[in-house]
Amino acid sequence: MGVRGLGRYLVTHPQHVPVVVGAAWALRRPRWWRHWPPLPTPGRDYWHFRITTAYGTSGAPTPRDVVVASRWSRSVRGTR
């Protein structure tokens, strides 16, 4: 699954957008505005580490996996 797959999923399940956006915001790299393009995304090495430890070298998260992980992240951060 890539960004497009997740985007398609979120278009058809808009109730999950706030949860996924909140989790993405929590994963942004420090001083993200100083890196090009200036988007609040996780660093490439960090993201590679997270995906590899969760899915191995050939796996990728499904949109459902992203939503479940985002909900878990939200509950751990203690926000509603």
The low-confidence residues of the chain, meaning pLDDT below 50, are none
The predicted pLDDT at position 19 comes to: 92
The predicted pLDDT at position 1 comes to: 60
The predicted pLDDT at position 51 comes to: 86
The predicted pLDDT at position 79 comes to: 55
Closest CA relative to residue 70, chosen from 14, 26, 36 = 26
Q: 66 near 20, Cβ under 8 Å?
A: yes
Quick one: tokens of 78?
Answer: 């203690």
Cα torsion angle, 80, 60, 32, 16, sign: negative
